[in-house]
């Protein structure tokens, strides 16, 4: 669970999972101070981080000589009624073509990608001003 609380100035928001804390904000042109990640940045970060960790876990489990991995995710919302997560994966290590393909294929099964690929619904839980 993530909780988010308003901060100053304007739209700066502190969020936490109870162990780690970070900040989000909006851009200057939208009235923010740029003092944190934009909410859409956090969606991109969730997917990029999950793919990165999934690749590294797979490489470790299968003794693939992966030295490092870099993942980049961009959220494209330019088409009405469609959201596209574009991503790039850069692998380094003494990897064969087969190893590279296996590692890239892992991105399709990372938990965040699987979650985002499902039908999404939203449920409001009334808290009468109290959390």
Does residue 32 contact residue 24 with C-beta atoms inside 8 Å? no
What is the spatial distance between Cα 59 and Cα 106, in angstroms, rounded to a whole number? 10
Residue 124 lies in a domain: no
Q: What is the pTM of this model?
A: 0.90
Regarding whether 46 and 32 lie in a shared domain, the answer is no
Question: Residue length, the chain?
Answer: 131
How high does pLDDT run on average in the chain? Answer: 95
Query: What tens digit of pLDDT does each residue of 22-35 get?
Result: 999 999 999 999 99
- Token pair for 101: 């393909």
Regarding whether 98 and 53 lie in a shared domain, the answer is yes
Regarding whether 108 and 84 lie in a shared domain, the answer is yes
Query: What tens digit of pLDDT does each residue of 39-66 get?
Result: 999 999 999 999 999 999 999 999 999 9
pLDDT tier for residue 127 given thresholds of 50, 70 and 90: confident
């Amino acid at each position: 669970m993530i909780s988010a609380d308003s901060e100053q100035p304007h739209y700066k928001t502190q969020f936490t999972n109870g162990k780690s804390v970070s900040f989000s904000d909006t851009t200057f042109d939208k009235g923010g101070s740029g003092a944190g990640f934009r909410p859409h940045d956090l969606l991109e970060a969730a997917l990029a981080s999950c793919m990165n960790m999934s690749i590294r876990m797979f490489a470790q489990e299968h003794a693939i000589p992966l030295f490092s991995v870099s993942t980049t995710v961009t959220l494209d919302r330019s088409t009405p009624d469609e959201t596209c997560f574009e991503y790039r994966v850069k692998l380094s290590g003494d990897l064969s073509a087969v190893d590279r393909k296996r590692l890239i294929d892992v991105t399709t099964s990372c938990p965040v990608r699987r979650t985002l690929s499902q039908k999404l619904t939203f449920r409001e839980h009334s808290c009468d001003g109290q959390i």
